[in-house]
Amino acid sequence: MEKSISAIKEEFSRATEPEAWSAFIHDYEADERKGVQSLIQSAKKNIAALEKEIARTEQMKKYEKEYASFGAVCGIDEVGRGPFAGPVVACAVILPKDSQILYLNDSKKLSEKKREELYDVILKECVAYGIGMRDAGRIDEINILQATYEAMRDAVNNLTVKPGVLLNDAVTIPGLTMKQVPIIKGDAKSVSIAAASIVAKVTRDRMMVEYDRQYPGYGFAANKGYGTAEHIQALQTIGVTPIHRRSFIGNFI
């Protein structure tokens, strides 16, 4: 008895891996019904998209392969240099040489849901990771650039594995002895830097959601401390909180 299209659709919905998509194509490609052929095309598109992502990820391993002879390759990135409130957060990540994590990219190019998914995968599969941060008080004291460098040094020093080379997103960090490779737009060109950018972003975003509970009215959960119209209005009506960078908000209060 011929299987119904609804039953075949249900079978396709359970196929989430390339092996399952290939098996689905093999089993039903000869079925000429329009609904089945539509599912076949969807399976082929899924396989093509996955192959494209694998190729993109391999291209993003260029620097990791180039500097592998130095030992453990560490990507480092930061988030939060521009906001009016909250810390600047840096992350250092060492991925396995045979890392197969897909969809790594500049954290700003990923949805919140995708960042959260990748955060868990990165922390589970990485060789080591370290976090560093500096709060608003320290940022006001020494300026955002120097505070960022301090956070980055902490992130590297908090690694449980000593890196042989750092792949940095555009900067060279003072005060570190290992080789550093600054890469412009590195979070879109290196899997290690991309992984660091995702972990740093999720870490900081979660902190800002918690700050939103502590200091309601500024929209921290949504704006993450950036100077939106809502945030500026709250500064003028509610006032300044302990997490605000006073050196950033002088024009608004």
| pLDDT, tens only, 226-239 | 999 999 999 999 99
Which of 59, 84, 102 lies at the terminal end of a domain, its last residue?
59
Q: Is 208 part of a structural domain of the chain?
A: no
String of DSSP letters for 174-238:
TT--SEEEEETTGGGT-HHHHHHHHHHHHHHHHHHHHHHHHSTTS-HHHHTT---HHHHHHHHHT
Within this chain, do residues 82 and 120 fall inside the same structural domain, yes or no? yes
> Crossing angle, helix 34-59 and helix 18-28, to 10 degrees?
150
Rounded to whole angstroms, the Cα distance separating 150 from 87 reads 12
29 vs 119: which has the higher pLDDT: 119
Within this chain, do residues 148 and 174 fall inside the same structural domain, yes or no? yes
* Domain housing 52: 5-59
Instruction: State the CB neighbour count (10 A cutoff) for residue 112.
Output: 11
Q: Is 230 part of a structural domain of the chain?
A: no
Within this chain, do residues 83 and 147 fall inside the same structural domain, yes or no? yes
Instruction: State the average pLDDT over residues 76-95.
Output: 98
Kindly state the helix (H) or strand (E) to which residue 64 belongs, with its residue range. helix 62-66
Backbone angles phi, psi at 230, to 5 degrees: -60, -45
Rounded to whole angstroms, the Cα distance separating 62 from 125 reads 20
Confidence (pLDDT) at 126: 98
Within this chain, do residues 125 and 27 fall inside the same structural domain, yes or no? no
Confidence (pLDDT) at 71: 96
Q: Is 237 part of a structural domain of the chain?
A: no
Within this chain, do residues 20 and 77 fall inside the same structural domain, yes or no? no
Q: Is 141 part of a structural domain of the chain?
A: yes
2 vs 36: which has the higher pLDDT: 36
Within this chain, do residues 124 and 196 fall inside the same structural domain, yes or no? yes
Instruction: State the CB neighbour count (10 A cutoff) for residue 244.
Output: 23
Rounded to whole angstroms, the Cα distance separating 24 from 34 reads 15
Nearest to 155 by CA among 194, 200, 118: 200
Q: How many domains does the chain have?
A: 2
Q: How confident is the model at residue 245 (pLDDT cuts 50, 70, 90)?
A: very high
Within this chain, do residues 52 and 150 fall inside the same structural domain, yes or no? no
Rounded to whole angstroms, the Cα distance separating 80 from 36 reads 49
Confidence (pLDDT) at 251: 85
Within this chain, do residues 43 and 123 fall inside the same structural domain, yes or no? no
Rounded to whole angstroms, the Cα distance separating 16 from 46 reads 9
Confidence (pLDDT) at 1: 62
Which of 59, 79, 95 lies at the terminal end of a domain, its last residue?
59
Q: Is 245 part of a structural domain of the chain?
A: no
Within this chain, do residues 151 and 174 fall inside the same structural domain, yes or no? yes
Question: What is the CATH number for 82?
Answer: 3.30.420.10
Rounded to whole angstroms, the Cα distance separating 157 from 150 reads 10
Which of 185, 202, 219 lies at the terminal end of a domain, its last residue?
202
| pLDDT, tens only, 6-48 | 888 998 888 888 888 999 988 889 888 899 899 999 999 999 9
Within this chain, do residues 183 and 159 fall inside the same structural domain, yes or no? yes
Q: Is 21 part of a structural domain of the chain?
A: yes
Instruction: State the average pLDDT over residues 173-194.
Output: 97
Alpha carbon distance, N-terminus to C-terminus of the chain: 76
Within this chain, do residues 198 and 79 fall inside the same structural domain, yes or no? yes
Percent of the chain past pLDDT 70, that is, above it, reads: 100
Q: Is 154 part of a structural domain of the chain?
A: yes
Residue 94 Cα to chain centre, angstroms: 14
Within this chain, do residues 77 and 123 fall inside the same structural domain, yes or no? yes
Instruction: State the average pLDDT over residues 186-214.
Output: 98
Q: Is 153 part of a structural domain of the chain?
A: yes
